[in-house]
Amino acid sequence: MIDAPAQAGHESCSPGDLSSTREAAQDATAQVEAEQAAANLNQLGSLRPLGQLRESFILATGDQGLWIIDQHVAHERILFEKILRDRQVEKVHRQRLLMPLLVELQPWQMVIFAQIAGELERNGFEVEPFGPHTLAVKAAPVGLEGASLERMLTQVIEQSEAPSEPALNEDLTSLRTRIAASIACHSAIKINTPLDPKRMEWLLLELAKTEHPTSCPHGRPIALLYSWKDIQRAFHRI
């Protein structure tokens, strides 16, 4: 009896394989979309500002279409990267306050302040204890003052904790990032703030120079693009 010739087998895909394939395809698509978004945002420097929407969002036009830029988070990204650069080369700009700002803290907050005081000083702060539960702020990074300065300092202290010895370098890097992000957030142009055309042009040019123009340090998107195709499609032109 002659055995039937063996047929070339077809490897069947298990549900797990199919799921992995779909996830890989989705990841690849997301990466392409992210790269395309970054490429589009690199064109920000060539945009022409048209005006503001409710004095909070910049409307601008370019080759790709119509852009809407959140002025606060755009400025926040610009400041964040500048603060990190200045901190790296120890060229932080500070301003002395006419009168020391007194900040009341809880006992545990005073303990945290003592642990991060050195890094705050290297970021432009001159702060010292003024009694058991009070800090006296004598100097601060340029752009921070009054209530914004107090909120920023309190926020950094509340978000910080003593660095553990095994992960000291990682904790210090995280602390520097938090301080820079908080300074940038509280110093940046606010919403409901009128901007003249020159200021809007400057903001777009500086944003285009940043390493990560897609989002602010806290992860919020900076700009939305409505492409010409999207606009034409909405008006049934194509």
pLDDT tens digits, 100-113:
999 999 999 999 99
User: Model confidence over 36-89: pLDDT tens digits?
Assistant: 555 556 677 889 999 999 999 999 999 889 999 999 999 999 999 999 998 888
Confidence bin at 91 (pLDDT 50/70/90): confident
- 27 found inside a domain: no
Structure-model confidence comparison of residues 205 and 168, the more confident one: 205
Determine the pLDDT at residue 35: 59
Domain extent for 153? 92-187
How many domains is the chain built from?
Answer: 1
What is the signed CA dihedral for 192, 194, 197, 199, rounded to 10 degrees?
A: -80
- 30 found inside a domain: no
- 28 found inside a domain: no
The contacts of residue 5 (CB under 8 Å, 6+ apart) are: none
- 141 found inside a domain: yes
Q: Can you give the CATH number for the domain in which 168 is found?
A: 3.30.1370.100
- 7 found inside a domain: no
- 206 found inside a domain: no
- 110 found inside a domain: yes
- 199 found inside a domain: no
Q: Could you give the strand order of the β-sheet that contains 65-70, starting from the edge strand earlier in sequence?
A: 48-53, 57-61, 65-70, 223-227
Q: Provide the whole-model pTM.
A: 0.77
168-187 and 146-159 are packed helices; what angle lies between their axes, rounded to 10 degrees? 160
